[in-house]
Every structure is written in structure tokens, then in C-alpha cells.
Amino acid sequence: MTLDGTNTWVLRAPGAEYATVIDPGPLDDDHLRRIAAHGPIQFILVTHGHVDHVEGAARLSELLGGTAVLAADPAHTVGGDPLDPDESLGGNGIEIHVVDTPGHTRDSVCFLVESGNDRAMLTGDTILGRGTAVVAWPDGDLGAYLTSLGRLTAYEDVPVLPGHGPALTDCAAVAREYLDHRRDRLDQVRAALAAGATTPEAVVDAVYPDIDPGVRFAAEWSTRAQLDYLRRESQSGPWRLDPL
């Protein structure tokens, strides 16, 4: 689920004293000390509250002598105020704009970072470096996720620095690919329902016939998110699904 592990990004403008950390990652003291060695750090930002991104945040703050941890969810914020959607943070040669992108989780945000003529979008798990992201139902929401992907299609030619996997070159292009993929999947789910699937498990079997058992739970999350979305889209649809 974490591909090759979580990416922790340390960004520093040329010649600037303070760097910014995005997603400190798990509570692994060696990893956190290596991040701290890149200090001083002006703030530690968190894209969302999943443990593989945020678990080490409080410890990193401590190692740095109390650097604030800023997250959309107050539960993950340390020594500062929770991030507001569309808030901007600045200092030390970089401008950081919070982009409100719920969907993978309710608290997911992206960070548009600008320094001189350089820009990058830090996407957490909203866009990954390879494969596709998961809607972590029920905290995640497919309708919100589609809206968020639509928002990210505005960033043409902005590089993506994701929470897992390699960097990508064009945020808008990837967001459009993700939207196409989601629409294809929704069509497949509609087809499975039309063909008589009556449970989420049966939909998973129809839509993901070759799924690796180790990641089947992720397909089930996504399927439940899709069914939830379709049920809301058409309350009077022809399908009836027992409590999901």
C-alpha cells in the first residue's frame, strides 16, 4: 500500500536558511533524525492524517526543538493552528498555498509550492507517482475526490511531488488521467450491477477479476466508495444493495 515507502519532502529555496518539510512519515527515529539534519525547518506540513504520513510528526517537531506541525485536522496539528483550505504560508523564499482536495480522506490537502519561477504540487495520496490512489472509504468520498481532481486539472505543467512513488511532470495531465480512470471504473461498476451483482464483494469480483488477494481490501474500499457515489447519484436506481 505504501509502494516503496512514504516520500518525505524537504524543500529549501536557493540560499534560504529555513527549509519546509512535507509529510515526515512513520515514527522511525533514524529517518526522522536524517530529516532533522536538513534543518533549520520553518514548519512541518502534513497532507493528511494517515499513519504512514504523520506518525513521526510530533517526534520530528521535538527533535527540531518545537517546530510547528500544520495539518488540516486539528488532531495532527502541533504548536500552531490547523490549516485552512486556500490558506497561504510564506517565508524563506517559498510561498505555499493550501489546495483543498478532500476525497482520499476527508482531511486531504495538496500544497502548491512556489519559489521564483519554480512551482510544484505536493499531492500526498491524492495523486501518486504510479498506479492510482485509493478512496479510503468511509472517511474518503468519491464525489469529493472527483471534485478535487477537477480542481487539480487547473495546474498545467506543474510538477507533482507525490506521497508515494516517483515525481511526475504535469499535475493537470495526471489529474485528467485519474478522472478518466475513475469514470471508466464507475462504468464498470454500473455494468456489474446491471449484470446482477448485489453485494460489494460480487462487484469487486466482476470489476477486479485478477486482484491480488493482498490488496483486495483496497479494491473493496474503492468499490464501496463507488457504490456510495452511485447510490447518491441515483437514489431511485434499479439496484438494491443491502447495508454497505
Q: Which is nearer to Zn ion, 125 or 228 (CB)?
A: 125
Residues 43-82 that bind Zn ion (CB under 5 A): 50
List all residues 6 or more positions away from 155 whose beta carbon is below 8 Å from its beta carbon. Answer: 112, 119, 121, 171, 172, 175
23 binds Zn ion (CB under 5 A): no
Residue 103, H or E segment? none
Between the alpha carbon of residue 234 and those of residues 221, 225, 229, the distances in Å are 20, 14, 9
d(CA 25, CA 60): 10
Q: Which is nearer to Zn ion, 50 or 76 (CB)?
A: 50
CB of 23 to Zn ion, least distance (A): 10
Q: Which is nearer to Zn ion, 107 or 125 (CB)?
A: 125
How many chain residues interact with Zn ion (CB under 5 A)? 2
CB of 167 to Zn ion, least distance (A): 18
One-letter amino acid at 134 equals V
d(CA 121, CA 123): 6
CB of 174 to Zn ion, least distance (A): 17
CB of 14 to Zn ion, least distance (A): 31
- Contact code string over 100-129 relative to Zn ion, x by CB under 5 A: -------------------------x----
List all residues 6 or more positions away from 97 whose beta carbon is below 8 Å from its beta carbon. Answer: 86, 87, 88, 111, 112, 114
Q: Which is nearer to Zn ion, 167 or 194 (CB)?
A: 167
Q: Which is nearer to Zn ion, 52 or 170 (CB)?
A: 52
d(CA 189, CA 185): 6
Q: Which residue is nearest to Zn ion (CB)?
A: 50
What are 47's three cell numbers?
Answer: 497532507
CB of 238 to Zn ion, least distance (A): 34
CB of 152 to Zn ion, least distance (A): 16
Q: Provide the CA 198 distance to its chain's centre, in angstroms.
A: 30
Q: Which is nearer to Zn ion, 12 or 104 (CB)?
A: 104
Contacting residues toward Zn ion, per CB under 5 A: 50, 125
